[in-house]
Structures are given as C-alpha cells and as structure tokens.
Structure 1
Amino acid sequence: MDTGEITVDFATELELFLGAARRGAPISIRVDGMSTLGHLVESLGVPLTEVGELLVDGRGKAPSHIPAAGESIAVRAVSRPQQRSEPVRFLLDIHLGTLARRLRLLGVDAAYENPDIGDAALAARSVVERRVLLSRDRGLLRRREIFAGAYVYSHRPADQLDDVLSRFAPRLAPWTRCTACNGALRVADKESMRGQLRGNTEQTYDTFAQCVECGQVYWKGAHHARLDEIVARALAKYGV
C-alpha cells in the first residue's frame, strides 16, 4: 500500500550509480510501508557494499529500517580506510586479472577466478574463505550471500589499485607472493634452479624466488624495473 513520499540524498561519491536525471539533488520516491531502506537504496542503483551510514532525519538507521512518509534519508559513502576486524583477503572476478596480479605483487592475498566460475560460485567462495569480493558488476555485489564486497570504481589498473589500497589499507609485503597463483614465494638458490630455466637465464642471474604452490620461478629480469615502479609508488602512498 502506498503511504507517501520520502526524500533520499546520496553522497556525491555515490551519484555515479544513479541515472543522470537523478544526480545533484535529493530524490523524492514513494514508499509502500513494507520495503526496507536497503531495498530502496539498491533499487535506485547503489550497492549496499558502497554505503556507509544511513541517516533518517539525522539519526543512524540499519538497512532493515522501513521508511515512513515524510522521512528525509541521507546515504553516505563508506569511510576510507574501511575498518575491519580481521586481516583483509580478496576475491576478484574474471574482469580484474591485472588488479589481482598487482595486489599479489604487493604481497596482498588476492584470489582470482579464471576462467569465470559464475556469480553463485564466486559468492560461495567469498563466504567459505571469508574474502572481500571485488567487482565492477553491481548485480554480483547485490547478492545477499557474499561475505563482503566492494565496487572497483575505475577501468584503469593503476587507479583500481589506488582504490583498493586506500579503501582497505591491507598490509603490504612486496615480492612475497606469486603473481600467477597467489601462493607464497621462497628464496631459491641458483643450484636448485639448474635445468628449470630457459635460455641463458641461469648464467645471467644469481638471485631467484620460487612459488611453493605452483613452482613458478622469479628473477630480476628486464620487466623488473616496471614492477619496481608499481611497488615503490604503492609503498610511498600506502606503506606502513
């Protein structure tokens, strides 16, 4: 049953989820006396993973609140850094492979599913392994069964990395995790690498690391300078 109108004012950071006609001013919507505040916010296009405080006439309310006619709602964005009670671990969807590799480069636990296993399986893994699901798919982030989630705001990997690091402030431990499989790296001596390397790599380099999970071998090759730039920039901005 229609019981009247409420006004909903979204934080500027959340307006990108709204249609162009709904940006820049509070939105008036009708309420039915049954739908929750969380449902109404998501029906306007904003995933609850991106919502911080929900204020009703200036007082904090839970997403389960049932709005009544005449109420004024303020929807704030999540605060940064977003505080968590346990070390953060991530799960990234099929479209965020480069971000996954960059997080692993920094020693951040970042699981990545390739090929695509589907939304239901991603959500289930998020719950079983207590991982924050990172995605640009708002539909995926609206699934109720996920452990936790976060929208990745940019298409550019460098900006995506800044987004995740500024939001969650994970502990950085560069060069300790395999960028291929997320496993831990161990120092490997040159003798143990004999017969495992192509070309003249064995003669050219003396320092190696190897993944304890998949066996991938790493050394400071031609690509190292570019990776070192990514690490140095992250440590300068987000290192402890």
Structure 2
Amino acid sequence: MDRPQIWLDFAPELHLFVSAPRRAGRTSLRTDGTSTLGHVVESLGVPLTEVGTLLVDGQAVPEAHVPADGEHVAVHAVTRPQPSPAPPRFLLDVHLGTLARRLRLLGVDAAYENPDIGDAALAARSAAEQRVLLSRDRGLLRRREIWAGAYVYSHRPAEQLRDVLSRFAPPLVPWSRCTTCNGTLRTVTKTSVREQLRDGTERSYDAFAQCTDCGQAYWRGAHHARLEAIVTEAVRDFGPAAPAASR
C-alpha cells in the first residue's frame, strides 16, 4: 500500500529551517502513516518551539494529529508577542552571554550557564525552574524535557535583544538586576561599597547600587552612556519601564 501523501506550506518566518525546495510554496511529502504532524514538521528541520498554528485543510489541529492522505497542511510561525500566563523568565545557553547581560540590564530575569553544562542539564533546569530556554542550537530546542524554548534568530546581540523583546514582551525594569549574576539591585551608600571603589570613582560618583546576591557594586561610570543608549532604545520600542535602583 502506498504511503500517505500530504501537502505542506511553511510560513516565510520558518523558511530558515527548511530546505530550499520547501521555501517556494506548497510541496508534497510521503509520510509513514503513523507519525504525528508535530514529528513530521520537526523531521523537516523546524523546531516545534517556533511553530504556531497548524492548519489541516483550513482547520486548526494539535501537534498530535496524524496526517492522512491528501491533506493540505499550513505551518504557521508563533505569534508575536507570544502569549504567556506570567512574566517570562529565561535561561540562556553558553553562546548567548551578551544577550543575557543586556536582558538583565533591562531588569529581565535571565539565567545564564557558563561554562557549558550540557544539553541535558540545560533542559532539566528549564523544566525545574519553568524558564524559557533561549538558544541557537536547534537540537537543544528539540529536547522533550524543556519547559519552553525559543530559537534566537540572529548572531548579533542587538538584533537578538529585539527578537526576544518583540516575541515575549517581558516587563522592563532597567537598572534593577545585576548584569553579572542576575540578582536584584538595591540602592546603597558610598561607604557601604567603598572597598570596591578606586580613588577616582570614590571622588567622582555619589549614587551607588549593589547586588543583593553577589555584592557587586554599580555606579554611573564611563560605560554608562553606552548602556543608557541600549536601555533608551528598548524602552522606546518595547516599554514602558518602571523605576528601579540607580546605577
């Protein structure tokens, strides 16, 4: 008996993941007659974390649907912003350190693993802490044990940040998190962090914050203008922002 033949049409946003012939429009595929639609889509290179609505002959179906002969399947990308029952918390793999620091700069809860702890441990932490795993590793995002995941489409940190903010719309609270460890910041006196300051810093600055977890001190130093530009652009395009500790 011939295997079922189905017809597939991938949204343009998903063309990155599929072979060139499948980017031109509707194409055919012979299935084994038992695999779910989710498995079929994933076998063609698309992480299910990136798939939104699946339509079969115009009707929405779950990933567990087993396609039958002659069905027309439209594979849509996730909607933006992606619905979330609560403010999202993130977990980033070892290759996304700059993105992690920029998310923390904006007050977004962004855990980061460095050195690399391995795919299994990352997936387990995502599940245990209910964090959205961000990665450019498609294989990692295919692990069934992750709580939720998202592919980071660009290799440029500025574009990565815009990608995550537009997709998940997390609340922005700039200057409220430690960019080193992800802990929360509190306003402190100069005296309380004096041992971390050089003479020039102690003479030139009066407003300080400190991480409640690792103790790192922060102030509006020479690098502040560059960081302020990142914050201003993010708040302008993805705000509003709430007031937070000075830095």
Q: Compute the TM-score of the two structures, normalised by the length of structure 1.
A: 0.98
1:3 and 2:7 aligned: no
The corresponding residue for 1:197 is: 197
1:26-175 superposed matches below 5 A? 26-175=26-175
Alpha-carbon distance in 2 for matches of 1:106, 1:2: 55
Q: SS of 1:29's equivalent?
A: strand
CA offsets 1:121-171 (integer angstroms, 9 cap, x no match): 000000000000000000000001000000000011110000000000000
Alpha-carbon distance in 1 for matches of 2:198, 2:165: 35
Alpha-carbon distance in 1 for matches of 2:138, 2:74: 21
Alpha-carbon distance in 2 for matches of 1:108, 1:206: 26
Alpha-carbon distance in 2 for matches of 1:182, 1:226: 20
Alpha-carbon distance in 1 for matches of 2:59, 2:179: 45
TM-superposed deviation, 1:178: 0.2
TM-superposed deviation, 1:108: 0.1
Q: Conserved in 1, the CA contact under 8 Å of 2:107 and 2:176?
A: yes
Q: In structure 1, give the amino acid aligned to 2:39.
A: H
TM-superposed deviation, 1:2: 4.6
Alpha-carbon distance in 2 for matches of 1:108, 1:76: 28
Consecutive unaligned residues of structure 2, counting only runs of 5 or more, are: 241-247
Residue correspondences, number: 240
TM-superposed deviation, 1:87: 1.6
Q: Conserved in 2, the CA contact under 8 Å of 1:193 and 1:202?
A: no
Q: Conserved in 1, the CA contact under 8 Å of 2:37 and 2:64?
A: yes
Alpha-carbon distance in 2 for matches of 1:193, 1:64: 56
Q: SS of 2:226's equivalent?
A: helix
Alpha-carbon distance in 1 for matches of 2:216, 2:80: 35
Q: Compute the TM-score of the two structures, normalised by the length of structure 2.
A: 0.95
TM-superposed deviation, 1:48: 0.4
Q: CA RMSD in A?
A: 0.9
1:21 and 2:29 aligned: no
% same residue: 70
CA offsets 1:52-106 (integer angstroms, 9 cap, x no match): 0000000000000000110000000000000111220000000000000000000
Q: In structure 1, give the amino acid aligned to 2:209.
A: A
The corresponding residue for 2:244 is: none
Alpha-carbon distance in 2 for matches of 1:198, 1:27: 65
TM-superposed deviation, 1:109: 0.1
TM-superposed deviation, 1:197: 1.3
Q: Conserved in 2, the CA contact under 8 Å of 1:3 and 1:68?
A: no
CA offsets 1:5-24 (integer angstroms, 9 cap, x no match): 10010000001101223212
Q: In structure 2, give the amino acid aligned to 1:128.
A: A
Alpha-carbon distance in 1 for matches of 2:67, 2:193: 65
Q: SS of 2:209's equivalent?
A: strand
Q: Conserved in 2, the CA contact under 8 Å of 1:138 and 1:151?
A: yes
TM-superposed deviation, 1:204: 1.2
Consecutive unaligned residues of structure 1, counting only runs of 5 or more, are: none
Q: In structure 2, give the amino acid aligned to 1:92.
A: L
TM-superposed deviation, 1:225: 0.1
TM-superposed deviation, 1:27: 2.0
Deviation larger for 209-218 or 198-207? 198-207
